[in-house]
C-alpha cells in the first residue's frame, strides 16, 4: 500500500510545477540530445549517446517518483487545525531556558522542511517534542547534543 503524504497547498503546487517542467521541457530536451548523438554514427562508442541515455533514465525515474508522490498526496486542511496548541503549520516562538535565546520555527510536512527559512519537519526531534504543547508550557527535548529545555512563548499561523 502506498503511503499518504501531506502537503501544504503551496508545497503540492511546487511539486506539480516541477513535474510539468520535467515533462514539457526536460524530456523533449533529452530526446533531442539522444537524436543528435544518434546522428553521429556508431552508438557502441558514442559517449554523448550514452550520457544522454543515462540522463533520460534519471529523468524518467524522477518523473515516476513525482507521479507516485502526487497520486498519494493530500492537502492539509488548515481550517481543521486547533490553533491553541502546537501542531503542523504552527509558527512557534520558543525560549531556550539555559541561554535565554529566543527562536521561531514553523512546523511543516517533512518534505517541505527548510531550516534556512525557519521551517522544520514535524518529524524532527524539536517538533515532536513541541506537538500538542500550549503557550507557557516548558518542554525538555532530546536532541543529538543532549536535552534542551524550552518554553513555548507564542503559537500562531
> What mean pLDDT do residues 48-62 have?
93
pLDDT of residue 20: 97
Buried b (16+ CB within 10 A) or exposed e, 112-123: bbeeeeebbbbe
pLDDT in tens, 71-85: 988 888 877 777 889
pLDDT of residue 143: 82
Cell numbers at 38, concatenated: 544518434
- Choices 3.40.50.720, 3.40.47.10, 1.10.287.180, 3.40.605.10: CATH for 5-75: 1.10.287.180
Tell me the whole-structure pTM to 2 decimals.
0.67
At a CB cut-off of 8 Å and minimum separation 6, what does 157 contact? 78, 81, 83, 89, 90, 91
pLDDT category, 41, cuts 50, 70, 90? confident
> What mean pLDDT do residues 32-61 have?
87
Residue spans per domain, the chain: 5-75, 79-156
pLDDT category, 64, cuts 50, 70, 90? very high
pLDDT category, 149, cuts 50, 70, 90? very high
Cell numbers at 126, concatenated: 524539536
Domain 79-156 falls under CATH 3.10.50.30: yes
Same fold? 5-75, 79-156: no
Task: Count the neighbouring beta carbons within 10 Å of the beta carbon of residue 130.
Answer: 25
CA 15 – CA 23 distance, rounded (Å): 12
pLDDT category, 154, cuts 50, 70, 90? very high
Mean pLDDT of the chain: 90
Contact 141, 126 (CB under 8 A): yes
Amino acid at each position: 500500500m502506498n503511503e499518504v503524504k501531506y502537503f501544504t497547498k503551496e508545497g503540492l503546487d511546487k511539486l506539480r510545477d516541477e513535474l510539468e517542467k520535467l515533462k514539457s521541457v526536460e524530456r523533449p530536451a533529452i530526446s533531442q540530445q539522444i537524436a543528435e548523438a544518434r546522428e553521429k554514427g556508431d552508438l557502441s562508442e558514442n559517449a554523448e549517446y550514452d550520457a544522454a541515455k543515462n540522463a533520460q533514465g534519471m529523468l524518467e525515474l524522477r518523473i515516476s517518483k513525482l507521479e507516485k508522490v502526487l497520486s498519494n498526496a493530500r492537502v492539509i486542511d488548515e481550517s481543521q487545525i486547533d490553533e491553541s496548541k502546537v501542531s503542523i503549520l504552527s509558527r512557534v516562538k520558543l525560549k531556550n531556558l539555559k541561554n535565554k535565546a529566543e527562536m521561531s520555527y514553523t512546523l511543516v510536512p517533512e518534505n517541505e522542511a527548510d531550516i534556512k527559512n525557519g521551517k522544520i519537519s514535524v518529524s524532527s526531534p524539536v517538533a515532536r517534542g513541541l506537538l500538542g504543547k500550549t503557550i507557557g508550557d516548558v518542554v525538555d527535548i532530546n536532541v543529538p547534543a543532549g536535552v534542551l529545555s524550552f518554553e513555548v512563548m507564542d503559537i500562531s499561523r
